């Protein structure tokens, strides 16, 4: 799967967990998801669960910084790093 395909899947997932008061339409890869109010900090946990299920990422083994879940770009970096290693 290419980065673009991963991105589309991720945006689809983010739409399913978005805050009720801020719909995700366009999101920049470097835009902070929590700070811009698109998702709340609790949703970061759901991103962890999503990445575990969809990409079999083991966060316990890979010591991933929760801060790396802050933007679409950094989440895609994690996916690439783990799927290519």
Smaller CB separation from another protein, 16 or 84: 16
Nearer to another protein, 46 or 76 (CB): 46
Near another protein by CB under 8 A, which window of 3-11, 21-29, 71-79?
A: 21-29
Contact between residue 77 and residue 68 where contact means Cβ atoms under 8 Å apart: yes
> By CB under 8 A, is residue 84 in contact with another protein?
no
Q: How many CB atoms lie within 10 A of CB 79?
A: 19
Whether the Cβ atoms of residue 38 and residue 22 lie closer than 8 Å to each other: yes
17 binds another protein, rule: CB under 8 A? yes
Chosen residue from 2, 4, 21, 56 binding another protein by CB under 8 A: 21
């Amino acid at each position: 799967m290419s980065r673009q395909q991963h991105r589309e899947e991720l945006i689809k997932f983010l739409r399913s967990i978005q805050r009720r008061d801020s719909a995700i339409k366009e999101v920049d890869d470097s835009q902070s998801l929590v700070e811009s109010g698109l998702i709340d900090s609790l949703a970061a946990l759901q991103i962890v669960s999503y990445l575990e299920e969809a990409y079999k990422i083991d966060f316990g083994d890979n010591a991933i910084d929760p801060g790396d879940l802050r933007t679409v770009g950094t989440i895609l970096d994690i996916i690439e790093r783990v799927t290519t290693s």
